């Protein structure tokens, strides 16, 4: 197992870099359950159990920890990837070899030691590697359930993450933070609970994408650059049409509240 080597100043800088990358790439970021999750993090250490579908997930986790939840965040990462990208260790990633049971046991104990106080959070992606968002079941490994059993002070929170292309040029980023899960000493039952809870958050996002839910708040929304707007207007006039319409950047249907940027 590779311990984290978190550095305060590098973490702050890289978290800002992650936020800038996300804002440049995604036209809108929508979050469900943020106020509840922030309140919980102020009361207890939190284990954030999420699906893993894209390269972006570690940057999302860092941004959410640093800027949305305001916690001292850590994340479990495949040891091979951490050796290839060692700077993630400086922002709280610790590595585990998923094919070595002894490594897994050490990582569970290490995570439990991290989850010893309010204001601390650890991300875990129990699928173990990126899987398509459409793949069901999620096929979680038991790591999150084992950690929840050992880290008795912590609360487990299911997280759904989805990247969605729609009516706008840039994709949308959806993050759904669920209600904390009840403690469960039986690892097999806890594993099922964790997987079902994350699937429920992904289903919540699916409803929002379809325009059937309004319980997401917009935490960031990009504006079209003046160059892009001007180019679209000129092309529309050249073609004999209007510059307004389908190329205007708007929030997805459903969510409509804006709280922060």
For the chain, what percent of residues have pLDDT higher than 70? 86
Report pLDDT digits (tens) over 111-128: 999 999 999 999 999 999
pLDDT of 229 above 70: no
pLDDT top residue among 246 and 228:
228
* Residue 195 falls inside a structural domain: yes
Assigned domain for 152 exists: yes
Q: Which pLDDT score is estimated for 88?
A: 97
User: Is the predicted pLDDT of residue 251 greater than 90, yes or no?
Assistant: no
Q: What domain count does the chain have?
A: 1
- Indicate the Cα dihedral angle 202, 189, 44, 87, nearest 10°: -60
Q: pLDDT band at residue 247, thresholds of 50, 70 and 90? A: very low
Answer whether residue 116 is part of any domain: yes
- The answer, yes or no, to whether residue 173 has pLDDT greater than 80, is yes
- Whether residue 2 is contained in a domain is answered as no
Across the chain, what does the average pLDDT equal? 90
pLDDT one-digit tens code per residue, 23-37 = 999 999 999 999 999
pTM listed for this prediction? 0.87
CATH of the domain at 24: 3.40.1130
Q: Domain for residue 114, yes or no? A: yes
Q: Give the residue numbers spanning the domain of 193.
A: 8-258
Q: What is the pLDDT of residue 241?
A: 55
Q: Is the pLDDT of residue 162 over 80?
A: yes
Residue 187 lies in a domain: yes
Which pLDDT score is estimated for 256? 53
- Let me know if residue 3 belongs to a domain: no
Above 90 in pLDDT, residue 178?
yes
Reply yes or no on whether the pLDDT at 233 is more than 90: no
Of 73, 38, 72, 68, give the one whose Cα is nearest residue 261. Answer: 68
Query: Mean pLDDT, to the nearest integer, of 84-105?
Result: 93
């Amino acid at each position: 197992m590779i311990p984290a080597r978190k550095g305060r100043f590098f973490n702050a800088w890289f978290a800002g870099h992650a936020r800038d990358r996300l804002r440049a790439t995604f036209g809108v970021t929508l979050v469900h359950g943020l106020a509840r999750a922030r309140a919980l993090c102020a009361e207890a250490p939190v284990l954030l159990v999420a699906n893993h579908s894209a390269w972006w997930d570690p940057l999302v986790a860092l941004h959410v920890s640093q800027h949305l939840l305001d916690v001292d965040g850590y994340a479990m990462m495949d040891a091979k990837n951490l050796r290839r990208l060692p700077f993630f260790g400086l922002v709280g990633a610790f590595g585990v070899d998923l094919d070595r049971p002894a490594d897994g046991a050490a990582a569970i104990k290490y995570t439990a030691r991290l989850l010893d106080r309010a204001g601390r959070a650890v991300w875990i992606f129990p699928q173990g590697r990126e899987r398509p968002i459409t793949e069901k079941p999620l096929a979680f490994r038991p790591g999150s359930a084992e950690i929840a059993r050992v880290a008795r002070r912590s609360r487990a929170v299911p997280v759904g993450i989805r990247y969605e292309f729609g009516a706008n040029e840039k994709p949308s980023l959806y993050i759904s933070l669920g209600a904390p899960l009840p403690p469960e000493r039986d690892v097999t039952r806890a594993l099922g609970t964790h997987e079902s809870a994350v699937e429920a958050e992904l289903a919540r996002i699916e409803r929002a994408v379809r325009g059937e839910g309004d319980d997401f708040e917009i935490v960031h929304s990009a504006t079209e650059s003046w160059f892009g707007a001007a180019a679209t207007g000129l092309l529309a006039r050249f073609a004999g049409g209007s510059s307004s319409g389908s190329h205007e950047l708007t929030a997805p249907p459903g969510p409509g509240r804006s709280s922060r940027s």
